[in-house]
Structure 1
Amino acid sequence: MAAAKGTPDIEDLARVAVTAGRAIMTIYTGPFDVEAKPDDSPVTRADIEAENVIAAGLAEIAPDIPIVAEEAAAAGDIPDVGDRFFLVDPLDGTREFIERNGEFTVNIALIVDGAPVMGVIHAPASGEIVFADSARGAFAGRVALEENEPTISDIRQIRARSVTEDGAVALVSRSHCDAQTHEALARFAPGAVKPLGSSLKLCRIAQGAADLYLRHGPTMQWDTAAGDAILRAAGGCVVDLAGAPLRYARHVAGVSRDFGNPDFCAFGDARLKARL
């Protein structure tokens, strides 16, 4: 299905994400410094260079769509946005990048009227890529890391699963998990609880490998938008703790920070929402 006039193709967004991933891996394989942003979260040269690559790539394919990107926003560079804009996390899971465990991603999402309608998540250390267009569905593939001109292959459609009798598999943040999270998870009676870094958690739910991800505490919309687009297209949902779908805009009711998220839960099987 062709994209609407003025709307990029999901394949275009995937190529931008892969190019950013190559820039990240060039830095990942060598020494790098770690600095602290004003909120004390870490940032590396890989975050900055990947964001520059993405900004240039998106400006080429969709010059009229504003870009809200993590590092630019941290520096106070936030454009005026209308009903369409990109949300970009150039290196989601910076702590995982620093720890060199491979669980970090490039996240790009297109927002239309407050909802994520396209999303790409690329894990450059493994070559995994997951992407979705609300009009076409959600897909997963592999990026050939050794090729000078990388290609995406082994593309297959993905769907979230129904919860099994063995109980839900719950995912938690590898770097941001506390006693409150484990207490809240008890209402879902999970059969297993597994830690995982970055937006890979939303990918695993969309791929039918896990069932839910509950997050208390501060997150930003660029952390979730791409994974939310993918999970919605795969039949799941990401909702606040009142059960309403997350909204994507500079100002969201009940959230004090620009482009901030409320506490939320991601589900593969929407029937789990009844336990919130």
Structure 2
Amino acid sequence: MTDEDLLELAATLAERAAHAINAIRAAGFAVERKTDESPVTEADRIAEALIVEGLRAATPDIPVVAEEEVAAGLVTALAARTWLVDPLDGTREFAAGHDSFTVNIGLVQEGRAYLGAVAVPASMEIFGGIVPTGLAWKREAASRRPIRARAIPAEGATIFASRHYSDDPRLGQFLEGRKVAHIEKIGSAVKFCRLAEGVGDIYPRFGRTMEWDTAAPQAVLEAAGGRVAGFDGQPLRYGKPNFENHAFLAEGRRG
């Protein structure tokens, strides 16, 4: 498969999972707790099964690491190229009735985000990106258009902050001395996508995230001309012990 074929596979599966999540949302669902006390629902499990089955059937040579499998103790060995799947990023948002939750399917290569697809079920927006080629797009209904991250406008930066960590004092410290036009607090990988399509500028993340949370949206943002790195300036890498990320800064286009 070409990179474009792989991206289309990821986008198609993300879209199917989004429809499944919306159907479960409409029917009603229970919220359970995993061993780490994070929430999980039937939507997480059904979406993951759909995605994992599709990826393994179409690309049997590329291992798949998926959030709920890992939570259940099934950890697939990594390879030079590996799929990272978060079937429902923002389960707290989903359970609370908010709309900022996503389906994330990312491909990492040699420890770096390479390509990814992100679906936003509530609006049925699909985002895709391939980092090396700079191909980044957004699909709504039957139309698809290219997207590009923007440079910070003269009136100041639009900041995206995690709703769940919105009271973190480190956010205020980070913003000191910066010209800020607006702060929007939302959940999930939607924040990366808004940066990628040029409607925001900075997303600082201080709280815990996992590699399957970030691989796909990082690929979309970087393909659109943005950047994701630690606060030390080092690139966000993949294949870390326990799949846990350090704090990072996601940005639109510089200069």
TM interval, short-chain normalised: over 0.9
TM superposition shift of 1:74: 1.1
Tell me the amino acid that sits aligned with residue 44 of structure 1.
T
Establish whether residue 100 from structure 1 lines up as the match of residue 97 from structure 2.
yes
Contact 2:134 2:225 in 1 (8 A): no
Query: Within 5 Å, which residues of 2 pair with 1:1-276?
Result: 3=2, 8-134=5-131, 135=133, 137-143=135-141, 153-177=142-166, 178-251=168-241, 258-270=242-254
Tell me the amino acid that sits aligned with residue 245 of structure 2.
N
Deviations 1:34-87 (A, max 9, x none): 111111110001001100000011012111111111111111111111211001
Contact 1:211 1:268 in 2 (8 A): yes
Secondary structure, aligned partner of 1:132: strand
**Distance in 2, Cα, partners of 1:48 & 1:168:** 37
TM superposition shift of 1:184: 1.7
Deviations 1:188-225 (A, max 9, x none): 33221111121000000010000000011211011111
- Return the TM-score normalized by structure 1: 0.88
Secondary structure, aligned partner of 1:9: helix
**Structure having greater relative contact order (Cα 8 Å, sep ≥ 6):** 2
Superposed CA RMSD in Å reads 1.5
- The equivalent residue for 1:255 is none
**Distance in 1, Cα, partners of 2:51 & 2:190:** 19
**Distance in 2, Cα, partners of 1:214 & 1:92:** 17
Number of corresponding residues:
253
TM superposition shift of 1:31: 1.8
Contact 1:122 1:128 in 2 (8 A): yes
Contact 1:185 1:214 in 2 (8 A): no
5+ unaligned residues in a row in structure 2: which ranges?
Answer: none
Identical amino acids, percent of aligned pairs: 42
Change (3 A) 1:182 1:30: farther
Deviations 1:145-194 (A, max 9, x none): xxxxxxxx210100000111111111001122212222222243322111
**Distance in 2, Cα, partners of 1:55 & 1:37:** 20
Runs of 4+ with deviation above 3 angstroms: none
Contact 2:18 2:103 in 1 (8 A): yes
Contact 1:170 1:213 in 2 (8 A): yes
Change (3 A) 1:39 1:189: farther
- Return the TM-score normalized by structure 2: 0.95
**Distance in 2, Cα, partners of 1:82 & 1:248:** 11
Secondary structure, aligned partner of 1:111: strand
**Distance in 2, Cα, partners of 1:157 & 1:182:** 33
**Distance in 2, Cα, partners of 1:25 & 1:158:** 25
Tell me the amino acid that sits aligned with residue 217 of structure 1.
G
Deviations 1:11-34 (A, max 9, x none): 111111111111111110022111
